[in-house]
Amino acid sequence: MSKIVFFDVDGTLVGETKEIPASAKQAIAKLKENGVYVAIATGRGPFM
């Protein structure tokens, strides 16, 4: 069975700095190493 994790962007994955923290990048890399699909789920427009 496949596993997938969805992340919201604003206020969850990206804070006020508008950058993804290194700790989040490391966690996402670890998920991917373990065969977990990672996806973004957001209501944010494509040009925001």
- Tell me whether residue 10 is one of the annotated catalytic residues: no
Phi, psi of 47 (to 5 degrees): -115, 20
Long-range contacts, stretch 30-35, CB < 8 angstroms, 24+ apart? 31/5, 35/3
Q: Which of 5, 8, 12, 25 is catalytic?
A: 8
Which residues belong to the active site? 8
